[in-house]
A and B are shown apart, each in its own frame.
Chain A
Amino acid sequence: MSTDTRNLTLVQAVRDGLEIEMHRDEDVIVLGEDVGKNGGVFRATEGLYEEFGKDRVIDTPLAESGIIGTSIGMAAYGLRPVPEIQFMGFIYPAFDQIVSHAARLRNRSRGRFTCPLVVRAPYGGGIRAPEHHSESKEAFFVHEPGLKVVIPSTPADTKGLLASAIRDPDPVIFLEPKLIYRAFREDVPAGDHTVPLGEAAVRREGSDVSVYTWGAMTRPTVEAAETLADEGIDCEVIDLRTLSPLDRETIVESFEKTGRAAVVHEAPKTGGLGGEITAILQEEALLYQEAPVKRIAGFDTPVPLYALEDYYLPSSTRIEEGIREAVEFP
């Protein structure tokens, strides 16, 4: 492994990760709407069509159920498809294929058939997009046994987690925080680079409160932690990175140290992962708990049209206020 790095944005890291995996394993193919000639509507697959040709970077008809359904067939027969769904809000036509088949092909055939595919989709709000372009519905997929769910928050993790997802023997839903596709750059290891699935990352160590988050909410959460540090509140910020399976160990370990917790996600509060994390803390570390776990989340409403989008998404003030509540209780 080389120590060379390249300074990349998150979306460039997606592209880099795909390119490296396609070189490493010729069974890896990319397919989806506008992924070929156009290089993807976010340019996540730019140049791959030219580099690998039309049989490995496939422009499909406009048919999500078809894209995922055919990917399942291809995966079962030895390919490693990486289908792109253009926006998470358009994954629903493929929902049946994902939950009824991709998720349980292994189980239904007692391992005879497997489904090693990675469904990539940009998710989340904050880019003044039209309706249905801003959803974060990771909880739907976390709820489905047999699927893994990954959401990176940095360019280096994006590349490394994508590589692990592609090499994983099971289907992975890989959600990309489009709000920060181009927000910042980071040195990303050149060449082969993996980050293991199922391991959270501690983004900031602290002793007063554990704050769990992922994806696009990671940066504002770390920023809120820095602001709160000036007030004497020492936050530990944990970027979960893989939402299924969750890294229970890291989640619990941190809480045993702090006894207080907040969860920050942009998905609606009710039925969101904040509830699951709270339950894990209750199950595993009840006696350490000093305050109710605070959920800082999107409201239980559809994501509004963009004039009110900022009111919907957790802002730094909302995050700080929520963390303060967890710390100041009772």
Chain B
Amino acid sequence: MTGGEGGHDALFDRAPDDRVRVLDESGALVGTPPDMSDAELVEIYRHMRLARHFDERAVTLQRQGRMGTYPPMAGQEAAQVGSAVVLDDEDWIVPSYREHAAVHVHGLSLSEILLYWMGHGAGGWGADANVFPAAVPIATQIPHTTGLAMASKLGGCGGEDGGVSGNRPQAGDAVACAYFGDGATSEGDFHEGLNMAGVFDVPAVFVCNNNGWAISVPRERQTASPTLAGKAAAYGIDGVQVDGMDPLATYRVMRAAVEKARDPDERPRPTLIEAVQYRFGAHTTADDPTVYRDESEVAAWRKRDPIPRLERFLRETGRLDDDRIDEIEADVRAQVAAAIERAEATARPDPETLFDDVYAVRTAELDRQRATMRRLRDRYGDDAFLRD
């Protein structure tokens, strides 16, 4: 990468509540646009359209009983896509459960994502992508991110086995990026992870997707700190707030943070990015947000929807037209439909896989338990296990 985002200092030497912006709600420029090609800009748009459509279909699948509980991301596409496109393949994403778009950009297929929410062990992780399995226990992924970044900085020790995941780092190039919500900043793991990142000055980026709510708890009741970005000061690292519903602003900040992580030039490597955004839908499909928040609040945030905003900017600057948009629309629909078909066509996992990958080598006791299952299935059929 070039030093294209040059003015790092301008991005990092600012008050925590001095939010970085590039596009306003109407798509007009209010800040410096990132240095990107037209194709890269349109690709961000396409990814956001894909994410929105995927999300709508996933919610529908849950309603139809074709999928389990699902955490929707509508409204949060810009922060996910605008940041994830910055990462190189060798970089790591360490996500929470809501980063469907970010992990897809980084290489997890849509069907792998769907399979996880369909309760299928083959889903949720990619064989090739540097994406950690989604962390459901809040904030637990944050110290992992620091650890991945520490390993990256320390570099390979020349071991033959290539590390457990076959990804022994090459001398300090990979950056690790955590995603988590505003609620996660209240957990001890947030503090411990960021504190260690600061002490060891590791190449990590901590992206806080502040969507205003942690289920029913509003951001103001989560912490008395005026901003989440400001918490970075406690760890001696840079903290910056960005309009997380502006994909171009997110991109700029993320790119600066990633470049700084690779080449710190007297600044601390780690960065806390507070991407301010809103979740349009429910916390999960099991949640009813009307109990705790006003429709008027949702309506106000919908005006900041990242997708029409970028669309307007791209149209007005001649980078996108009706034909291209139709093409993208058709493409996105086909891609999601194919992913659903692929996920649903995946055979129900063999029940005996239950006993696999608990340890590298199945223990004798697990072998016995597996044999018990086999005997019962032989004798009574699978009905022996299906609870009524």
Contacts and interface: CB of A to CB of B under 8 A. Distances in A.
Contacts of B222: 61-62
B286 interface: yes
Contacts of B358: 300-302
Contacts of A113: none
Contact of B217 (A61, A305, A315, A318): A61
A60 B183 CA distance: 10
Interface stretch (A129-137, A199-207, A230-238, A239-247): A129-137
Interface stretch (B8-16, B72-80, B345-353): B345-353
Contacts of A66: 186, 188
Given A38-B215, A38-B292, A308-B349, A317 B136 contact: no
B69 interface: yes
B60 interface: no
Contacts of A300: 358, 363, 365-366, 369
B59 interface: no
A321 interface: yes
Interface string A36-53: 111101000000000000
Contacts of B85: none
Interface stretch (B112-120, B243-251, B306-314): B112-120
Contacts of B124: 305
Q: Is chain B's binding surface mostly helix, strand, loop or mixed?
A: loop
Interface string B333-356: 000000000000000110101110
A302 to B, nearest CB: 7
A132 to B, nearest CB: 5
A270 interface: yes
Interface stretch (A8-16, A87-95, A116-124, A167-175): A87-95
A196 interface: no
A303 B136 CA distance: 14
Given A62-B222, A312-B354, A307 B118 contact: yes
A227 to B, nearest CB: 12
B223 interface: yes
A318 B384 contact: yes
Contacts of B189: 93
Contacts of B183: 61-62
B286 A270 contact: no
A301 B362 CA distance: 11
Interface in A58-87: 59-66
Nearest to B284: A130
A319 to B, nearest CB: 10
Contact of A59 (B116, B188, B217): B217
Contact of A307 (B120, B292, B369, B376): B120
14 contacts: A38-B292, A41-B286, A61-B183, A62-B214, A64-B187, A90-B137, A93-B137, A129-B68, A131-B134, A304-B354, A312-B354, A316-B388, A317-B383, A321-B380
